[in-house]
Amino acid sequence: MRLAEHRYKTISSIRSQLLMVEQVAAVRLGEVVRVVGPDGRSQEGEVLLIDGHTVLIQIFGECRGLDLRESTVIFTDAIKQAPLSLHMLNRVFNGSFLPLDGLPTPLPEKWVPVAGVPINPTSRARPEEFIETGFSAIDGLNTLVKGQKLPIFSCAGLPAKEIAAAILKNCTMTGTGQGRKQAVVFVALGLSHYEYSFYMETLAAIETNFVAFINLSSDPVVERLLAPRFGLTVAEYLAFEKEMDVLVVITDMTNYCDALREISTSREELPGRRGYPGYMYSDLASLFERAGRIKDRAGSVTMLPIVTMPEDDITHPIPDLTGYITEGQIVLSRDLHRQGIFPPIDVLPSLSRLMQQGIGTGRTRDDHRQTANRLYKYYAKGRDLRGLEAIVGRDGMSVSDRNILDFTDTFEQEFVNQGGSRRAITATLDTGLAILKRYGLEEL
């Protein structure tokens, strides 16, 4: 611990958002610095690299107006921390944790480093408690459980934000009724003003507690890297100290990754695939792995990040690396969207790896697994048959094949498609069973 603040006026170079400061006597990696320009404006930054007494600093905001002679760098001897307290609930902040809702900054109960520390794998409790999102395609066939990280892979122009809003509004975590509270942490990265007002209306309308971190497309790019870390630090605090079930919705991870690329390039790091840094996997993992449950503690952190796949390409580095870290994925389909189906979830490439533990007797309903398997099996078969139909025509196909094709259409129109309504899990399973029955497919 240093006894006094260190101030330096020894900036030797400024390039994009990087400052080089010379003759620094004591400094730590990741230390937060304040840079005061000649006009008195102050910004935050972070120590990136130390080479002898030369220090490289990343500025979080704009560098405009900084100079070499007058600007002062103040070292704070602390790494980036988040102020935490229950007063944050139902508040809206920006990517630097400053209030956006015009109310004063809440008084922190404690300060915690935003980077987080890994959960010891032996202390992790198995995610197995069902979360009801209200969407049949998710609850019925790709069930989300507490402590899971399940991304939504969307394409440009698909209604990912409507799905996110519906989940924010509708999700209920079973068991929360028994004295356990639930909360939503909403992190928006690189949002346009149009989307911003949409989400603000949504948040104003939801009943659960929320904490929102909003980074607009005009806000500093570095804040896009900070906002999810603030969000997750808050989520961990609410979950593991205040015993809440916390759902973290982050939109859009593609903007996060682009920010990562932009900053990595400005640091002259070696680019990897498509210019994204080689450490993007580890960086994304440092966010996604913060989801989970801990043995002998009540709360949970569940993550639902939204990823817009560039060029609709699931092999693009962003969805690809995300898929390697997360426990499954929900994939949206342009085809279903064109047919007016909402939510346009394609259940075939979608997957929830933790579904098996979260469904069945005592969790959802005892026939859940069986019903889901049947729906999936016949739908997959129907999708295969559609390829054949395109070649030989429906008339050239056998009666049973035509029946499955009809089932496939109905499944999309009545099971996946539900418009704006919310379906409870029992309604989801009943809908599925009714469709199977209509086509005589109750037996495998």
Partner 1 sequence: MKGRIIGISGPTVTVDIPDLKLYDRVRLGLERLQGEVVHLSSGRAMVQVYEDTRGLALGEPAEGMGRPLSAQLGPGLLTGIFDGLQRPLSRMAAVHGPFIRPGKLLSPLAMDQSWQFTPAPQIGDTVTAGEVLGTISEGSHQHPVHAAAAGTLTMIASGLVVLKEPIALLAGDIKLYAHEEWPIRQPRPYRQKLAPTAPLITGQRIIDFLFPLAKGGTAILPGGFGTGKTILEQAIAKFADVDVVVYAGCGERGNEMAEMLEEFGELADPWSGQRLMDRTILVANTSNMPVAAREASIYTAVTMAEYYRDMGCHVLLLADSISRWAEALREISSAMEEMPGEEGYPTYLASRLAGFFSRAGVVETMNGRIGSLSIILSVSPPGGDFTEPATQACLRTSGAFLMLDTALAHRRHFPAINWFQSFSLYDADMGSYFEKEVSPAWNRNRRKCQALLQRDEKLREVAAIVGADGLQDSDHLLLAVAERIRQDFLCQNSYSADAFSTPELTAEKINTIISWGEAAEKRLTDGEELADILSKDKP
The yes or no reply on residue 299 touching partner 1 (CB under 8 A) is no
Single residue of 121, 177, 179, 420 touching partner 1 by CB under 8 A: 121
The yes or no reply on residue 382 touching partner 1 (CB under 8 A) is no
Residue 437 phi/psi, 5-degree rounding, is: -65, -40
Rounded Cα–Cα distance for residues 219 and 227 (Å): 11
The yes or no reply on residue 79 touching partner 1 (CB under 8 A) is yes
Nearer to partner 1, 79 or 100 (CB): 79
Task: Enumerate residues 256-275 that contact partner 1 by CB under 8 A.
Answer: 269-273
Residue 154 phi/psi, 5-degree rounding, is: -115, 175
CB of 159 to partner 1, least distance (A): 24
Nearer to partner 1, 384 or 442 (CB): 384
Nearer to partner 1, 223 or 327 (CB): 327
Largest Cα–Cα distance in the chain?
A: 85
Task: Enumerate residues 220-249 that contact partner 1 by CB under 8 A.
Answer: none
Nearer to partner 1, 127 or 190 (CB): 127
The yes or no reply on residue 419 touching partner 1 (CB under 8 A) is no
Are the C-beta atoms of 251 and 189 separated by less than 8 Å? yes
Rounded Cα–Cα distance for residues 367 and 374 (Å): 11
Q: What DSSP assignment string belongs to 58-94?
A: EESS--TT--SSS-EEEEEEEE-EEEE-GGGTTEEEE
Task: Enumerate residues 323-352 that contact partner 1 by CB under 8 A.
Answer: 323-325, 327-329, 348-349, 351
Single residue of 6, 28, 41, 169 touching partner 1 by CB under 8 A: 28
Nearer to partner 1, 123 or 339 (CB): 123
Q: What is the dihedral of CA 350, 354, 355, 358, to 10 degrees?
A: -150
Tokens representing 17?
A: 């958002």
Task: Enumerate residues 389-418 that contact partner 1 by CB under 8 A.
Answer: 391-392, 396
CB of 434 to partner 1, least distance (A): 24
Closest CA to 242 of 87, 119, 94, 381: 87
CB of 104 to partner 1, least distance (A): 30
Rounded Cα–Cα distance for residues 141 and 358 (Å): 12
